[in-house]
Amino acid sequence: MLGKNKNLLYILLFFAMIGWGASWVNAKVLSHYIDAYEMIFFRFSITGFFMIPIIIYFKKSFKIDFRSFIVAFLASVAFITYMKYYFMGTKYGTASLGGAFVTTLVPIITFLFLAMLGEKKLKKKDYFALVLGALGVLTMLNIWNSSLKDLLVIQNLYFLLASVLWPIFTIISSKSKAISPLVFSFYLYMITIALDGIFFVDFKTIAYQSFDFYFWLNLLILSIISSVYSNTIYFIGIEKLGAANVSSFIFLVPFSAIVLSAIFLKEHISISIIIGTIMTIWAIKILNNIKFIKHKY
C-alpha cells in the first residue's frame, strides 16, 4: 500500500523524523532514572522484540551470513560507544543543543571521513560547505559570546564524541550489503544488548522501584516510536522513493528536537542554536547535493 500511495509515505516519513527528534527529549527524561548502559539494554531489548513481527510482515529472511554477522558485531561496539556519549551529553547538557549539534554535525563528519578514505572527492563547493558547517557548529555553541572555559564543558565533549562515533558506526554498517537493512538492524540490536548486558549492566543495582509512568512512557516512545517505527519507515522510504528524496526529510530532525525540547523540557532555545542549525543544514545540503522534495499532486 505504501508503495502505491506516496503521499501517505511522505506523511509517515514526516512523523518518523519527529520520532527521531523526540528521542533526545526521551533520553533526557530517562537520564533521571537509569544510566547510559541500562538505557541501551532496555531500549534495544524492546526494539528488537517489536522488530520480529515487522521482519516477518515484510517477508524478510532472518538468515545472516558470517560476514554480515562480523560487521554487525563490530558495528555494535561503535554503536554502544555512540549511545553512551549521546546519552551522557543529553544528561548533562540540553536535548535541544544535542539534537541540533549531533544530527547536523554527523553528515559533515561522515563526508570528511569518506573524503579521507578516498570515496569522496572534494570540489570547490565542498570546501565552502565545510567552512559554512564549521561556522554553523561554532554558532550553535555560541562561541562568539563564550569563553574557552564555557566551550570546554563536559557535555560539549560528549556531543562531539557522539558526532564522530556515528559516522564510524555508519561506515562499518555500510559494509553489510548481503542482507536487508531491517534484518541487519535486528542482529545489531541483539548483539548490542548481549554485549551491553554481559559487560556493562549490573542488574542488581538498577532502581526498579523508581520506574514510574513517565519512565515507561518515555522508554516505550524511545524504543517503539523513535527506533522501530522511524527506522522502518526510513528504510521503506529509501526503497520506495530513493535515498535522494528521503534524505531531505532528515532536516526535520534537529528542528523537531529543538521544538519538542522547548515544549516538554521547558528548555530555553537561543537564537544562536537556531541560526547555527540553519547554517549546518545548508552546508549538508551543498555537500550531498540534496534537493528538497517537490510534491506533485
Split at pLDDT 50, 70, 90, the class of 292 is: low
Q: Are 94 and 267 in contact (CB under 8 A)?
A: yes
Query: What domain range is 101 assigned to?
Result: 34-287
* pLDDT the model gives residue 85: 97
Least confident interval from 121-125, 206-210, 279-283: 121-125
> Using 50, 70 and 90 to split pLDDT, how confident is the model at 121?
confident
pLDDT 10s digits, 195-227: 999 999 999 999 999 999 999 999 999 999 999
How many structural domains compose the chain?
A: 1
152 vs 155, residue with greater confidence:
155
Specify the pLDDT at position 295.
47
pTM for this model (two decimals): 0.89
Residue 250 CB contacts under 8 Å (≥ 6 apart), including other chains: 17, 103, 107, 284
Establish if 6 belongs to a structural domain: no
Would residue 4 count as lying in a domain?
Answer: no
Within a domain: residue 244? yes
% of the chain beyond a pLDDT of 70: 95
Say if 73 falls within a structural domain. yes
Q: Is the pLDDT reported for residue 250 higher than 70? A: yes
39 in any annotated domain: yes
33 pLDDT above the threshold of 70 = yes
C-alpha cell at 275: 541560526
Examine residue 98 and state whether it is found in any structural domain, yes or no. Answer: yes
- Please tell me the distance from the alpha carbon of residue 240 to that of residue 235, in angstroms, as a whole number: 9
In a domain, residue 121? The reply is: yes
Q: Is residue 102 part of a domain?
A: yes
